[in-house]
Structure 1
């Protein structure tokens, strides 16, 4: 292995150095060739009042419009379609504002992956351009996964729900099947005077990165249409929304497929003073040229993570292994950073999450919400405290599912993703509806010299060499169980048990895991005592659906 590479690189180093010829100019500085103006109450291409003009090498919105006028909103749409690209635009606010936003802050935007472009607000993802809010995310009505601020009370002022970069502590949230969503209230990085530089790096449906004046402000992954299908390409457009604004240096560079990691999230945990396991990620290069793979750990808790690689470059058609380590501090908490491998345009970004425990068990344990956020699973478990409601049939986004069945033709898979319980081997499996026999499918391992925190960790080891277990499910519906130290816990609360609480398990739907979309997947958390923390043993269950599902 090479020595650890732990460097903070400037944006100039992270974005590939480009010769001018590599950029395609979308605006020639003279006219609107290649662009179509779309205004309210007008057909595409109609602009009799010249709300959009070219002045002094810039696209000037509302240049000659009377400040007392009420103006239409609109977009200018470029004729080409783009999928993987790095786009750069400079903008500057001018003096005038108009009704119906005469008394509002100045607003515009850069739209990408746009479709249905014959209307004023095309279906698209918007890079918001707005006074104090540039870089915000607007889904119109596209969908995607981004990250939210956990401490809402400390959010900056602004519009929308408060977002936060994952490397700064943001937690995952999926915006799907919605007509409109606004994620903002990021730190203010735009200037009110002079020119601002907007950049967006888009990799088909895989990711988008919003950059303002050289600094990354927001990230999105898994871009989709409202119906859930991937959105891999679309038009780009610039908005005019009632404020005088100028755009210049509008250019784009189409990109090749970047480096591909086998996962985009690494979740670690560690008990202070105990041996901590490492994580490895395989990074592949599908191109015909080798790609540099310099490592940069960035973000709020970058100093707690270390990364090393098996090579400095990823060979053409080959791969390298990147190893990540975490040094837990003394404070019980979730810690966040990011790992940039290679450049922003050729490389890849991995979200780093970790849980630190000051000691074993009791109040040293994380909450179920902390576990879920560290695993980067976008689900609300019903509270951020350690002890959750044990009486209600449903809490947060949990589902009351008495019985499951396997997806046709598929084996049910159970992957242990967390365990915070007393030491000892812990059996788990299924029980068929109407029966009492426990069909054991696997066991969580006891502690060992190699893994002293096997009972207090993310991704606890199984009693065996595998990371998960798979089995052919019976035709009869079934529930899941875990045999704890005090009683047997079941996902079906109607099954008789020695527990003093009604619900010894909680079940949550999972749509994303390790940065990838999953189907027919569930997070199953078990309680083995009475406090309702539901993280004594937590499994990702795949290829299972409710028994009564059609």
Structure 2
């Protein structure tokens, strides 16, 4: 009886100690958001623009002003298909990426017709050091950012591929871009939160917290000349790559770029 009373007295303290230890372990192992854009400069980012070597920021295309990472073309006489992207220097595999963006101003003269409010967040990109001088786009996956013209719907968040294949609802993609299931169009210059969740070959796109599309099994496309060069020993499975922000001819702003690795 004495032992039972002692157990009753001690048990709450043991449970509390276990609970505290368990919470501490979970906190220690909790995933953390890491800021990729520091709000001050382009440290750890490298531009690659068509016709220019990696690292050359032609026309000050990518710049930081008032804590905003901006893409501008005011020093271009004409766009002339000078597509580009700003690459983060580290490779990522499984992660959740969060980017806040908006379209501003007018499309650059000489831009392609589809360039109006068109941009992208590229991921699982080939190494920027392997991109050719005149190569327009890397081999990659993409969260395609779109904006509306105030009339027609033009949903953001579709899944686009360059030199890859994916499975959408269990079927191989039928085109380079697949429209999202949940269609959201933003017509003004409002900020939009894009999120990309990549977990062991399963990928989801989110717009303002809502899942809009999912797909899986990205592979290098052996019928694509650029992708074919990246296939090593017959292995075409894509498990990791670089992240970049596209410059497709319409001015854009980014105020947050964060990542949580799994």
Task: Tell me the residue number matched to 1:91.
Answer: 101
Q: Paired residue for 1:52?
A: 62
2:168 aligns with: 146
Q: Cα offset for 1:113?
A: 0.7
CA contact (8 A) 2:92 2:242 kept: yes
Q: Greater relative contact order: 1 or 2 (C-alpha under 8 angstroms, separation 6 or more)?
A: 2
Verify the 8 A CA contact 1:141 1:181 in the aligned structure 2. no
User: 2:87, 2:216 → 1: CA distance?
Assistant: 24
Q: Which runs of 4+ in 1 moved over 4 A?
A: none
CA deviation profile, 1:210-251 (whole Å, cap 9, x unmatched): 001111111111122224621111001110100011112101
> Equivalent of 1:70, from 79, 94, 115?
79
Q: What pairs with 1:90-489 in structure 2 (closer than 5 Å)?
A: 90-101=100-111, 103-104=113-114, 105-117=116-128, 118=131, 119-131=135-147, 132-147=154-169, 172-175=170-173, 181-184=176-179, 186-193=181-188, 194-204=190-200, 206-227=201-222, 229-255=236-262
- Tell me by how many angstroms 1:100 deviates: 3.0
Deviations 1:312-347 (A, max 9, x none): xxxxxxxxxxxxxxxxxxxxxxxxxxxxxxxxxxxx
Contact 2:100 2:254 in 1 (8 A): yes
Alignment match, 1:302: none
Cα gap change, 1:190/1:24 in structure 2, threshold over 3 Å: closer, same or farther? Answer: farther
Contact 2:95-2:197 at 8 Å conserved across structures: yes
Q: Secondary structure at the match of 2:111?
A: coil
Cα distance in 2 for partners of 1:141, 1:85 equals: 22
- SS of corresponding position for 1:92: strand
- CA-atom RMSD in angstroms: 2.5
SS of 1:32's equivalent?
coil
Gaps of 5+ in 1: 1-19, 148-171, 256-550
SS of the residue 1:232 aligns to: coil
TM-score by length of 2: 0.73
Give the whole-Å Cα distance in 1 for the aligned partners of 2:199 and 2:220.
15
Looking at structure 2, the residues matched to 106 and 98 of structure 1 have their Cα atoms a distance apart, in angstroms, of 10
